[in-house]
Structure 1
Amino acid sequence: MKSQTIRNLQTLLRRSSSLLPSSSSSPKPLFHYKPVNLINLFLKPSILPHKLPFLSPQLNFSPFYAQSLCCFSTSKYSEDSDEYEIENDPTFEWEEEDDGEPEIGDGGAGGGIVLQNVAWGEKVLSIAREVLLQFGDEIKLYAFKTTPRGYIYVRLDQLSHEHGCPSLELLESYSREYKKVLDEQGSKGEIPDDLGLEVSSPGANRIVSVPDDLQRFKDFPMQVTYVESDTEAKFETKCGIFLLDSLDAESEHCDWKLADVKANRDPASKGRPMSRKRKDWRLRLSFSMLKKARLYIEH
């Protein structure tokens, strides 16, 4: 058992090492696009190293950080032996969520519900929604996905936060309450008793719902995919990095301006801001012309 515990801690240290500044170079920015998976949420604190970056109160995570907590129903802590017993070693068993280009309704960064026809999908979704009622109206289910291999991925959206990212404490609290009910239902045979669970924020590249969330994220650059018509019969798909300038819900149109990011600047400008001409440029689109909008993080 002790060797399993050591292996688990080594995995946590490897995954967290990228957050530590290097002594031979300038400090790395405290921003990461992929979540740090806490493989076992219920490790006894006394057996965890005190300097893990994600447990340090001195670490300030980016608000866009795709915070994530993972746990397994088959793991338990033994008070008698003072060891953490891992029946299924998560180092090798955990199924990573696809982190490719998000698409609308993909059950991940694109939001939506994806159950993939698993027999227990509707049941665990119903439980997830019931548990969410304990956290008030400002926490919503952004995305939910189940997989045939027995994994549940939950993304929570905090409406009162400017970026929609719940705190690690809230994610931990929801994960604990949800897992408790899953274990209860699993012991009754209502659902499998060995489901893997990951609870996270929507993510840095979350899809923005059109038109509902456009006003909410108007102060942040978005990567907008849209169609333009050169003629009545010809449509061309384009993509740009914009800021929302105005929105008219009655006419179902919105106006966009270029975001002041590197991608929109003249390469020959050598770091200077955008020209007045580019700052004054506007693009008017109907809601129906917007194919996808997602938050944009400059590399």
Structure 2
Amino acid sequence: MRNHFLNAFIADLCNPKNCFGASISIPIAPYSFPEKTRKCFILYNNHYLYALNKTADDVEVIDDWEEEEEVEPRLGDGGDGGGIVLGGVQWGEKALSIASQVVKQSEEDLQLFAFRTSPRGYIYVRLDKLSNEYGCPTLDELEEFSREFKKRLDDAGAAKVVPEDLALEVSSPGAERLLRVPEDLQRFKEMPMTVSYEEETNSRKAVKSAVFLLESVDAESEICIWKLADVRENRDPESKGRPLTRKQKDLRIKLPFTFHTKINLYLD
């Protein structure tokens, strides 16, 4: 029987700029959540940094977790790009339905950012919290969802609706979440964003990247207007930390929706 893990990004144990990097994993005995079986530890870049009970004996190495191929994220990929990807498994629709019911019945303002299943029996869920500036649910909210979702999966497994031996990972969207144009832009309007876009020069298109703040979105003409964010990447390296010049502050970039190739939240 495979070990079962609940994996949740820690949003309330670190500041918002760092909450995308740390995670907590809870090995769970199949079909139950007895307190004595819980062993919690924080992971960062696959290294164990801190065991909650501070004893090495309670740190259990996850050596049988599915290895994922590293690919460039894209919108709708079920990961950093959000969306639903069921991987062609017959039980995927039922698992998605159960997850959607848990979110709908939750008292928190959560929604599914991404949901993905794999043929090897793994379920990856990313929860977005609409009222949080960075979209990070708290650890308690992620754990509450994980417990209820796992309980209902176990019930469905006992009824032979889904496989009994499923592994679950629950997290928040990371800093690399892809933002949709224009749907996500107003929500993060007050935050700097790393924007990659196409620019045509001498009849040739080149992809450029800069850190912008959104000034406005014209839905009718499908154009975004951006201004430079006052961040290190946009300052003159020889200015010794001085803010943007007047010319830089007055600069505006108008981009059609279709010219945007990739947008992420910017974290200094």
Aligned pairs for 1:1-299 within 5 A = 31=18, 33-40=20-27, 42=33, 44=35, 91-95=62-66, 101-135=72-106, 138-230=109-201, 234-298=204-268
State the distance in 2 between where 1:248 and 1:146 align: 37
Distance 1:97 1:199, change over 3 A: farther
RMSD: 3.1
C-alpha contact 1:243 1:259 (8 A) present in aligned 2? yes
Q: Alignment partner of 1:93: what SS?
A: coil
> Structure 2: any 5+ residue segments left out of the alignment?
1-9, 45-59
Q: Alignment partner of 1:211: what SS?
A: coil
Q: Which amino acid in 2 is paired with 1:202?
A: P
CA-CA distance at 1:136 after TM superposition: 5.1
Distance 1:47 1:286, change over 3 A: closer
Which string of whole-angstrom CA distances, capped at 9 and with x for unpartnered residues, describes residues 167-224 of structure 1?
1111111111110110001112111111111111111221112101101101111111
C-alpha contact 1:164 1:202 (8 A) present in aligned 2? yes
Q: Please name the residue that 1:70 is paired with.
A: none
Distance 1:172 1:218, change over 3 A: same
Q: Alignment partner of 1:92: what SS?
A: coil
Distance 1:37 1:96, change over 3 A: farther
C-alpha contact 1:104 1:292 (8 A) present in aligned 2? no
Distance 1:30 1:109, change over 3 A: closer
C-alpha contact 1:205 1:297 (8 A) present in aligned 2? no
State the distance in 2 between where 1:220 and 1:100 align: 26
Moved more, 29-38 or 265-274: 29-38
State the distance in 1 between where 2:38 and 2:218 align: 56
Distance 1:114 1:185, change over 3 A: same
Q: Alignment partner of 1:39: what SS?
A: strand
Q: Which amino acid in 2 is paired with 1:38?
A: S
Distance 1:44 1:256, change over 3 A: same
Q: Which amino acid in 1 is paired with 2:179?
A: V
C-alpha contact 2:114 2:125 (8 A) present in aligned 1? yes
Moved more, 40-49 or 135-144: 40-49
Q: Which amino acid in 2 is paired with 1:177?
A: E
| Larger strand percent | 2
Distance 1:99 1:217, change over 3 A: farther
Q: TM-score scaled to structure 2, two decimals? A: 0.78
CA-CA distance at 1:250 after TM superposition: 2.0
C-alpha contact 2:112 2:125 (8 A) present in aligned 1? yes
Q: Alignment partner of 1:169: what SS?
A: helix
| Larger helix percent | 1
Distance 1:92 1:137, change over 3 A: closer
CA-CA distance at 1:230 after TM superposition: 2.7
Distance 1:102 1:192, change over 3 A: same
C-alpha contact 1:39 1:90 (8 A) present in aligned 2? no
User: What is the aligned-residue identity percentage?
Assistant: 52
Moved more, 178-187 or 258-267: 258-267
CA-CA distance at 1:114 after TM superposition: 1.3
> Structure 1: any 5+ residue segments left out of the alignment?
1-15, 21-28, 55-64, 66-88
State the distance in 2 between where 1:260 and 1:43 align: 50
Distance 1:104 1:254, change over 3 A: same
Aligned length: 239
State the distance in 2 between where 1:257 and 1:126 align: 41
